[in-house]
């Protein structure tokens, strides 16, 4: 597996983990557990998810442009 695929795989795992953590935060917020702390944590996980997904989408766009250029 080349290094770009390994990086994409790791980025996807980070995104999945962030979504899992967001869900845990929501559950704790809904139960009233340490709400302020979990709201802050959730925001951090949402930001990390957005960052990682932005990287994944950016890489996919770059790959598509390269493939399109190679077809010309």
pLDDT score of 2 more than 90? no
State the pLDDT at residue 17: 96
State the pLDDT at residue 48: 94
pLDDT digits (tens, 9 = 90+) for 17-62: 999 999 999 999 999 999 999 999 999 999 999 999 999 888 888 8
CA–CA separation, 39 and 22 (whole Å): 9
Q: Max Cα separation, the chain?
A: 58
pTM of the shown model: 0.77
State the pLDDT at residue 1: 56
State the pLDDT at residue 34: 94
């Amino acid at each position: 597996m080349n290094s770009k695929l390994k990086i994409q795989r790791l980025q996807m795992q980070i995104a999945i983990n962030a979504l899992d953590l967001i869900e845990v935060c929501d559950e704790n917020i809904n139960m009233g557990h340490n709400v302020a702390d979990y709201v802050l944590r959730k925001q951090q996980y949402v930001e990390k998810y957005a960052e990682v997904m932005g990287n994944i989408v950016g890489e996919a766009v770059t790959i598509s442009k390269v493939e399109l250029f190679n077809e010309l």
